[in-house]
């Protein structure tokens, strides 16, 4: 996988789920030497930093059901990757 400046990379499952539900598509889930999964989300519109800020300051709003579903799906990726 080629690094791209329009990608958002995080090992924080909940942040990745929030970004995904906010509209950033999941691009890849590489596993490092320490077996930790990194979520790589595509961010061509460069909205990821603003979305991350809204997540951390508690102002981000997403569907609770969609967020819960994304968490379940991303946990599955962690365990099956």
Query: How much is the pLDDT for 77?
Result: 87
Question: What is the Cα 8 distance to its own chain's centre?
Answer: 7
Residues in the chain: 81
Q: pLDDT tens track of the chain, all 81 residues?
A: 555 668 999 999 999 999 999 999 999 999 888 889 999 999 999 999 999 999 999 999 999 999 999 999 999 988 875
Q: Name the residue range of residue 17's domain.
A: 7-80
Is residue 2 a part of any domain in this protein?
Answer: no
Total domains in the chain come to 1
54 CB burial (10 A radius; 0-12, 13-18, 19+): middle
Is residue 1 a part of any domain in this protein?
Answer: no
68 is written with which tokens?
């819960």
Cβ–Cβ under 8 Å, residues 13 and 62: no
C-alpha separations of 64 from 31, 56, 60, 76 in Å: 28, 17, 12, 18
């Amino acid at each position: 996988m080629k690094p791209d400046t329009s990608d958002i990379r995080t090992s924080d499952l909940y942040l990745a789920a929030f970004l995904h539900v906010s509209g950033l598509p999941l691009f890849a889930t590489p596993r490092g030497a320490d077996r930790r999964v990194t979520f790589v989300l595509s961010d061509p519109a460069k909205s990821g930093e603003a979305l991350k800020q809204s997540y951390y300051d508690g102002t981000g709003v997403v569907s609770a059901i969609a967020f819960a579903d994304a968490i379940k799906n991303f946990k599955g990726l962690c365990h099956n990757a």
